[in-house]
Amino acid sequence: MDVIIEILKSIALGLVQGLGEFLPISSSGHLLLLERIFGITEGGRLMTIMLHVATLAAVCIVYREQIWDIIRHPLQKKTLWLIVATLVTVAITLAFKKVFDSAEDGRFLGICFLVTALLLTIGEFAKLLIPRTRTCNTMKWHHPLIIGALQGIAVFPGISRSGATITGALLCGVKKKDAAEFSFLLSIPAILGGLVLELPGLIKNGAGEFSWYGIVIGMIFAGVSGYFAVRFMLRLITKKRFTGFIIYTAALGVFLLLNQYVLHLF
């Protein structure tokens, strides 16, 4: 692979991952879409995992005070609810692993982006209709079950993890800022779990089309863009609406379905 082309691809993938992980547009769906457009056939999965690690660093920096509070005071309900939601996600992922694996070729990408648009629309109605009185520590036992289940279905490329979990929290009456906090903290065990499960085999198989410096460049751009995406999302959820993201993901979903069955552009 030409060095300049590889660097440009790495930068593009890094930016998409950093922005898409925390904005409600699905980083995994956009990464898969870019890989298809770029014609990446080898090493894409390793690059994806490493880019997720970079965005993990970003969320840890932004939420360093909350993470330190959990470490110092682990026996609090927020910790328990994060564990419960994570366990629900793991159970769904393992139970439907074959179904999720079958979606990695992008056959459901258009439909999944439409699901993201639907979830964000539900989240908008939830903000308007459901009183927001709960915090991360005052949720009831069934609330993390709902949020964890929504994170579970977001394993499908094209379904936004942040959009699904924030919508779930809003449906449970969680305050907007706390909904974002719970969603982003919940991404930490999700990313770590994926890394533990997949990294040993991925390293053994190599980086494919990407050199290690290409992966590092992608990680840098993913981490930096992810940091600013978290900051932007925190302001967005407390003061703005998801309307732009709803229109974008719906339009992208329709376009991908047209491309899949009619246009065949890629």
**Does the pLDDT of residue 238 top 90, yes or no?**
no
Mean pLDDT, residues 25-39 taken together: 89
Which one is predicted more confidently, 101 or 178? 178
Predicted confidence (pLDDT) per residue in 39-49, tens digit = 776 556 778 78
Q: What pLDDT, on the 0 to 100 scale, is given for residue 116?
A: 98
Please tell me the number of Cα atoms within 13 Å of 238 on its side-chain side: 10
In this predicted structure, what is the pLDDT of residue 43?
A: 52
pLDDT at residue number 83: 97
Higher local confidence (pLDDT), 197 or 7? 7
pLDDT tens-digit readout, 177-225: 999 999 999 999 988 887 777 666 666 665 556 778 888 999 999 999 9
Q: How many domains does the chain have?
A: 1
What range defines the domain where residue 88 resides?
3-263
| The pLDDT value given to residue 39 | 78
* Of 7-16, 37-46, 47-56, the least confident: 37-46
Instruction: Give the torsion sign (CA, 231, 237, 239, 243).
Output: positive
DSSP the chain: --HHHHHHHHHHHHHHHHHHHHTTT-HHHHHHHHHHHHT--SSHHHHHHHHHHHHHHHHHHHTHHHHHHHHH--SSHHHHHHHHHHHHHHHHHHHTHHHHHHGGGSTTHHHHHHHHHHHHHHHHHHHHHS---B-TTS--THHHHHHHHHHHHTTSTTS-HHHHHHHHHHHTTB-HHHHHHHHHHHHHHHHHHHHHHHHHHHHHH--TTS-HHHHHHHHHHHHHHHHHHHHHHHHHHHHS-SHHHHHHHHHHHHHHHHIIIII---
Q: What pLDDT is stored for residue 209 in this prediction? A: 66
**Mean pLDDT of the chain, nearest integer:** 90
Does the pLDDT at position 248 exceed 90? yes
Per-residue pLDDT, 36:
85
